[in-house]
Amino acid sequence: NAGVTQTPKFQVLKTGQSMTLQCAQDMNHNSMYWYRQDPGMGLRLIYYSASEGTTDKGEVPNGYNVSRLNKREFSLRLESAAPSQTSVYFCASNRQVPYEQYFGPGTRLTVT
Amino acid sequence: GQQVMQIPQYQHVQEGEDFTTYCNSSTTLSNIQWYKQRPGGHPVFLIQLVKSGEVKKQKRLTFQFGEAKKNSSLHITATQTTDVGTYFCAGRKDFSGGYQKVTFGIGTKLQVIP
């Protein structure tokens, strides 16, 4: 099992550019999440998907969109990148019983 | 809104000393989770506490969930250099209709001096 994979690992964008961060899990989990991590602010939930076909906003959804393409894949799109979106982005999935959450390796995004 | 405060933000200990980090939520939680993140790495799930007053142990790590389900602690006995990293708590509140709110603490960065 690869667990949770994310692409790309690093990305530099100019303000206004768009991009999609990809995430996939091979553990047959229903729930998937996107977080961003900024220094001094911990992790903040952007969007989550409790199951295939459903998505819900988290704490900081503005400027982002998501797609739960199928049970395996959950992508995060930045339509018009802004410097405030410079961050490390983590995708995660979890199993319910027993509960355990698995994080991907992260995408380090810089917007100039 | 829901807030989860975590203290201390930084802790330096001599190897062999004990370490504790505390989380306090402004609201009653459905459960609380703990994670460890090594420098440059991703968060790794340690445990989830669900029941009021719950205490769980993993070798030298002891996790507690308060009676009111608003606070939690992680205690490490006799720290080792392998314990270095940032420890996060994450408070989760479930609402009707499947909506959930997860709030992470700011994390406690632990340095262990050999």
Tell me which residue has tokens 């047959």.
A28
For residue B98, the model assigns a pLDDT of 66
Contacts of A48 in chain B (CB under 8 A): 100, 102
Distances B101 to A85, B9, B84, B92 between C-alpha atoms, Å: 21, 23, 29, 6
With CB atoms and an 8 Å threshold, state whether B42 touches A103: yes
Among positive and negative, which fits the CA dihedral A14, A18, A23, A29?
positive
For residue B41, the model assigns a pLDDT of 94
Q: Of B37, B55, A47, B54, which is closest to residue B46 (Cα–Cα)?
A: B37
Once rounded to an integer, what is the mean pLDDT over residues A78-106?
Answer: 93
pLDDT over 90, % of chain A? 81
pLDDT in tens, B24-41: 999 999 999 999 999 999
For residue A39, the model assigns a pLDDT of 85
Q: Which residue stretches of chain B have pLDDT < 50?
A: none
A111 has a pLDDT exceeding 80: yes
With CB atoms and an 8 Å threshold, state whether A101 touches B88: no
Cα of A104 to nearest chain B Cα, Å: 7
d(CA B6, CA B9): 7
pLDDT in tens, A40-66: 788 999 999 989 989 999 889 999 999
- Contact map slice: A 43-102 vs B, CB within 8 A: 43-45, 48, 50, 54, 56, 58-59, 90, 92, 98-102
Name which of B42, B93, B95, B106 to mutate to probe chain A: the one with the most chain A Cβ atoms within 10 A of its Cβ: B42
Once rounded to an integer, what is the mean pLDDT over residues A79-93?
Answer: 97
Q: B81 by DSSP, 3-state: which?
A: helix
pLDDT over 70, % of chain A? 100
Name every residue whose Cβ is closer than 8 Å to that of residue B65 and which is 6 or more positions away in sequence.
B31, B32, B49, B50, B51, B52, B53, B54, B55, B71, B72
Distances A103 to A22, A33, A44, B37, B106 between C-alpha atoms, Å: 13, 9, 13, 10, 17
Q: Of A35, A28, A30, A20, which is closest to residue A53 (Cα–Cα)?
A: A30
Contacts of A90 in chain B (CB under 8 A): 42-43
A68 has a pLDDT exceeding 80: yes
Measured from the Cβ of residue A73, the count of other Cβ atoms closer than 10 Å reads 16
Q: Of B66, B47, B53, which is closest to residue B4 (Cα–Cα)?
A: B66
Q: B95 by DSSP, 3-state: which?
A: coil
With CB atoms and an 8 Å threshold, state whether B42 touches A106: yes
With CB atoms and an 8 Å threshold, state whether B44 touches A103: yes
For residue B94, the model assigns a pLDDT of 83
